[in-house]
Amino acid sequence: MTEFVLAECAPRSVGSARYIVCGLRSLLRYLYVAGHTEVQLEAAVPKVAGWRLAGLPVTFGRAEVKRLLASCDRRTTFGRRDYAVLILLSRLGLRAGEVAALGLGDIDWHAGEIVVRGKGRREERLPLPADVGEALVGWLRRGRPRCACAAVFTRVRAPHRPLASSGVSAIVRAACRRAGLPELNAHRLRHTAATEMLRAGAGLSEVGQVLRHASLLTTAIYAKVDRDRLRTLALPWPGVAS
């Protein structure tokens, strides 16, 4: 049983591994109740270790973000769209679904803000940095097809439907390939935005506000990557002069 769980769960995420283990326990309970096994084997299935905030967020470095953005040929329609998507993800830390849900009416050009529709149907306003606004203008004026669709980001080729969250993730993966980087998902750019804010001197509460976390505990994972501040808390190794 242990060998099966290790083989099946090794390449999976914690959540996916838990589904496998849960299904296996259900199967073993059924086999016992139906009389196919003489012993209740449910307890033999090992648990999946998945402690909250145990891991480290995987991020892109500054140089890697520059390579991702530079991989977009902004002379082309696809390049302008992809550049605008990538800069929204990396500068504001939006989720892929939030970028896909961004509507034309969600951009307040006079106030310099955008309305973000996040988890739980929450709507919040974020400041629109100048470079992000310029990227959006480049796409809207010189790239976005003329269509009745109210979404900011659409398919370039007809039919001009709104870009789905999977399409946003595909843009990130394609940029990784062009830049010669490992293919990471769009959420890595959200982690990158949080890490860069910390390095610039922002506090965890400020990062949580930008990322729109419901709990500060969720934001606390980024404290692990703030190495400069962690050094002030580290104790000297016994027997080694500080």
Q: Give 113 or 49, the one with higher predicted confidence.
A: 113
Q: Which residues 6+ apart lie within 8 Å of 142 measured at CB? A: 77, 80
Report how far residue 125's alpha carbon sits from residue 114's, in angstroms, rounded to the nearest whole number: 6
pLDDT tens figures, 58-106: 678 889 999 999 999 999 999 999 999 999 999 988 989 999 999 999 9
Q: What is the mean pLDDT of residues 190-201?
A: 81
Q: Would residue 222 show up in a list of annotated catalytic residues for this protein? A: yes
Q: Would residue 36 show up in a list of annotated catalytic residues for this protein? A: no
Choosing from 74, 80, 81, 95, which is the catalytic residue? Answer: 95
The Cβ of residue 110 has, within 10 Å, a number of other Cβ atoms equal to: 5
| Whether residue 197 has pLDDT greater than 90 | no
Two tokens, residue 4: 């099966």
Q: Would residue 47 show up in a list of annotated catalytic residues for this protein? A: no
Residues of the chain with pLDDT > 70: what percent? Answer: 84
Sheet holding 107-108, edge to edge: 107-108, 113-117, 123-127
Asked whether the bond before 46 is cis by omega within 30 degrees of 0, the reply is no
Choosing from 187, 191, 224, 229, which is the catalytic residue? Answer: 187
| Whether residue 237 has pLDDT greater than 70 | no
**Number of residues that this document lists for the chain:** 242
For position 190, what pLDDT does the model report?
86
**Residue 178 and residue 83 in contact, taking contact as beta carbons nearer than 8 Å:** no
Choosing from 119, 122, 224, 229, which is the catalytic residue? Answer: 119
Domains in the chain, CATH or no CATH each: 2-44 (no CATH), 62-183 (1.10.443.10)
pLDDT tens figures, 108-154: 999 999 999 877 678 888 889 999 999 999 999 999 999 999 999 99
Two tokens, residue 69: 């953005």
Q: Among 20-24, 152-156, 208-212, 235-239, where is mean pLDDT lowest?
A: 235-239
Report how far residue 88's alpha carbon sits from residue 234's, in angstroms, rounded to the nearest whole number: 35
